[in-house]
Amino acid sequence: MRSRMQTQVHLVHYAELALKGRNRGYFESLLIKNIKEKLGEDFKVSRAEGRIVISPALDPNQEEVLSKIFGVKNYSRAFLVENDQLMEEVPKLVHMGENTTFRVSAKRAYKDFPMNSIDIQRKLGEALLAANPSAKVDLRSPQLDVRIEVLKKYSAVYWEKKEGAGGLPVGSSGKVLVLFSGGIDSPVAAYLTMKRGCRVDLLHFHAFPTAEQVKGTKITELASKLAEYEPRLRLLLAPYHYFYLYFLNYPDKYHLVLFRRFMMRVASQLADQNGYDALATGDSLSQVASQLMQNLKLIDKSANTLVIRPLISYDKDEIIQKAKQIGTYEASIKPYRDCCSMTSLHPSLKPLESEIVAIEEKVNYKEIISKTLDEVVEVELRWRDPRGYPAGSDPAPMTRVLAAGPARRYAHTPPEGKRAANRLPPSAKGMVYCMLARKLRP
Ligand code: ATP
Ligand code: MG
């Protein structure tokens, strides 16, 4: 029999999943499915006593992909060792320098294993000391923490643990359409919504004459960043110009709330037609005029579905910190022609509902919504398999092509993207290297 000595894997721990009681099996399967989908077919992903084992072990690029999968609490590169060979094999795996301090931390997930955790720790400690005479045991803050997890078929041995993205596996909590402005806040709101297990798509209202002009802006850049966390993420683009045309002649101090109510209506219809369970925004209470409690209430009255606001209690500093951590900040602060800066500079802080409704009743609202919905374009962001990248290389930038036409595939992949794509097996999925664009309504 081949010794497991050579077998290196990645061992994945998940936390909240374990709390999900009766749903646990479902959550585990979903997490495994998401990991398989992102890593591709070269990996065997299986469950073992409340852990997930990925085999073979991942390279640094693939590890980065794993670090962006929600539901993973932490992960480690681990060696698999036969249960009955622990005492002989572990000292061969652990290389300690002179005077290294260490401890052994054992967990016995397979309860029928004849030794308990304390005994494993003690015996293995002795074996490690015998192999490394200058080493010392330090139970409190050792330089090396040798971890052993005894599973049914084998034990996993590792000493480095990396933080995962946390949260719940995407797909476990429903489908949400995020109102996506491309500022600092809404990308973070999208991230947090995904982190709670939601499938997320983004809806952006743009102020360009055509959707094609959104190409190459921070909007597509941010969407592709977020797609690294959720490869199925779609970007929907809606025009702002019909709103502007119809409301132009009304006092611009009302525009902000009118516009936000308009976005809610369009988004609610899209939610109805496309099976979204909720909408989400990047609002944080009282951050700006439109986010005062009273205005949020007015805005929500125009939504006919649940609106979630993951950042409602966040300070701007906290949002910025999060944006930097998830990698969206740099793109978010790039200059952009956004609709909100084109609405009033001095919005009314507390417009009366009656004033707002009176204006809305004067315009042909049905027509504005219908015209806007007619021009909504769906942009699909493709995700490239991590196997397509040689270690250390950057993913190819996404294609800068987008057009509002009937389903067209853009072969206009940048040369580096094409090269990488050609190396892939046909079944491989890609990391944001090409975009499909089609009108949402035929
Ligand atoms: P953000 O980082 O999201 O731009 P902000 O502080 O600039 O935050 P506002 O401009 O007041 O916030 O917008 C509040 C929320 O409204 C945004 O977080 C987003 O959810 C939504 N929103 C604003 N503008 C747009 C837009 N052009 N398209 C889609 N949603 C938008
Ligand atoms: Mg904004």
In a domain, 399, yes or no: no
Token duo for residue 402: 């987008």
Residue type present at position 394: D
Q: What is the pLDDT of residue 291?
A: 87
Q: Which ligand is nearest to the CA of 206?
A: 1
Residue 56 and residue 182 in one domain: no
Residue 120 and residue 57 in one domain: yes
Burial of 409 (0-12, 13-18, 19+ CB in 10 A): exposed
**CA-proximal residue: ligand 1, atom 26 (nearest):** 181
In a domain, 441, yes or no: no
Any idea which residue has 């330090």 for tokens?
138
* Residues 256-272 as b or e (16 or more Cβ within 10 Å = b): bbbbbbbbbbbbbbbbe
Cα–Cα separations (whole angstroms), residue 129 to 123, 125, 139: 10, 6, 14
- Give yes or no for residue 180 CB within 6 A of ligand 1: yes
- Give yes or no for residue 192 CB within 6 A of ligand 1: no
- Give yes or no for residue 48 CB within 6 A of ligand 1: no
Domain of 25 in residue numbering reads as 4-163
Measured at the CA of 73, the angle between CA 70 and CA 79, to 5 degrees, comes to 115
- Give yes or no for residue 388 CB within 6 A of ligand 1: no
- Give yes or no for residue 204 CB within 6 A of ligand 1: yes
Domains identified in the chain, total number: 2
Residue 135 and residue 209 in one domain: no
Query: What's the gap in Å between 222 CA and the centre of ligand 1?
Result: 14
In a domain, 19, yes or no: yes
- Give yes or no for residue 347 CB within 6 A of ligand 1: no
Task: Answer with the one of 347, 377, 407 that is the final residue of a domain.
Answer: 377
User: Three-class SS of residue 237?
Assistant: strand
- Whether 52 contacts 32, CB under 8 Å: yes
Residue 117 and residue 45 in one domain: yes
Ligand 1 atom, smallest distance to 256 CA = 11
- Cβ neighbours of residue 403 under 8 Å, at least 6 residues apart? 211, 212, 410, 437
Query: What's the gap in Å between 334 CA and the centre of ligand 1?
Result: 15
Residue 201 and residue 285 in one domain: yes
Q: What is the CATH number of the domain that holds 92?
A: 3.30.2130.30
Q: Which ligand is nearest to the CA of 264?
A: 1
Task: Answer with the one of 163, 197, 213 that is the final residue of a domain.
Answer: 163
pTM metric for this prediction: 0.86
Q: What is the pLDDT of residue 232?
A: 85
Of 231, 236, 233, 263, the closest CA to residue 247 belongs to 263
Task: Answer with the one of 113, 128, 163 that is the final residue of a domain.
Answer: 163
Residue type present at position 203: L
Q: What is the pLDDT of residue 211?
A: 87
Query: What's the gap in Å between 339 CA and the centre of ligand 2?
Result: 8
C-alpha 441/C-alpha 80 separation (Å) is 53
- Give yes or no for residue 340 CB within 6 A of ligand 1: yes
Query: What's the gap in Å between 183 CA and the centre of ligand 1?
Result: 7
Any idea which residue has 């993207």 for tokens?
417
Stretch (H or E) spanning 366 = helix 365-374
User: Three-class SS of residue 166?
Assistant: coil
Q: Which one-letter DSSP state was computed for residue 429?
A: -
- Give yes or no for residue 146 CB within 6 A of ligand 1: no
Q: Which ligand is nearest to the CA of 281?
A: 1
C-alpha 208/C-alpha 229 separation (Å) is 28
Residue 315 and residue 186 in one domain: yes
- Whether 65 contacts 38, CB under 8 Å: yes
- Give yes or no for residue 186 CB within 6 A of ligand 1: yes
Ligand 1 atom, smallest distance to 289 CA = 11
Token duo for residue 37: 């989908």
Q: What is the pLDDT of residue 18?
A: 61
Residue 148 and residue 205 in one domain: no
pLDDT tens for the 442 residues of the chain, in order: 445 556 999 999 997 766 666 688 889 999 999 999 999 888 999 999 989 999 999 999 899 999 999 999 999 999 999 999 999 999 999 989 899 999 999 999 999 999 999 999 999 999 999 999 999 999 999 999 999 999 999 999 999 999 999 999 999 999 999 999 999 999 999 999 999 999 999 999 999 988 888 878 999 999 989 988 988 888 999 999 999 999 988 988 888 899 999 999 999 999 999 999 999 999 999 888 788 899 999 999 999 999 999 999 999 999 999 999 999 999 999 999 887 666 666 777 888 899 999 999 999 999 999 999 999 988 766 555 555 443 333 333 333 222 222 222 222 333 334 333 333 333 323 333 334 445 556 4
**CA-proximal residue: ligand 1, atom 22 (nearest):** 181
Residue 135 and residue 195 in one domain: no
In a domain, 109, yes or no: yes
Residue 86 and residue 205 in one domain: no
Of 251, 234, 269, the closest CA to residue 382 belongs to 234
In a domain, 416, yes or no: no
Q: What is the pLDDT of residue 348?
A: 79
In a domain, 255, yes or no: yes
Residue 265 and residue 372 in one domain: yes
- Cβ neighbours of residue 365 under 8 Å, at least 6 residues apart? 265
Burial of 11 (0-12, 13-18, 19+ CB in 10 A): buried
In a domain, 282, yes or no: yes
Cα–Cα separations (whole angstroms), residue 403 to 1, 202, 421, 433: 58, 17, 22, 16
**CA-proximal residue: ligand 1, atom 16 (nearest):** 281
Token duo for residue 182: 């491309």
- Whether 436 contacts 407, CB under 8 Å: yes
C-alpha 226/C-alpha 69 separation (Å) is 11
Burial of 371 (0-12, 13-18, 19+ CB in 10 A): middle
Burial of 188 (0-12, 13-18, 19+ CB in 10 A): buried
92 phi/psi in degrees, rounded to 5: -75, -25
Residue 96 and residue 180 in one domain: no
Q: What is the CATH number of the domain that holds 359?
A: 3.40.50.620
Query: What's the gap in Å between 391 CA and the centre of ligand 2?
Result: 37
Any idea which residue has 């990047």 for tokens?
282
Query: What's the gap in Å between 340 CA and the centre of ligand 1?
Result: 7
Ligand 1 atom, smallest distance to 339 CA = 27
- Cβ neighbours of residue 441 under 8 Å, at least 6 residues apart? 373, 374, 376
Residue 81 and residue 193 in one domain: no
In a domain, 293, yes or no: yes
Task: For a ligand 1 pocket test, name from 178, 180, 186 the mutation site with the most ligand atoms within 8 angstroms of its C-beta.
Answer: 186
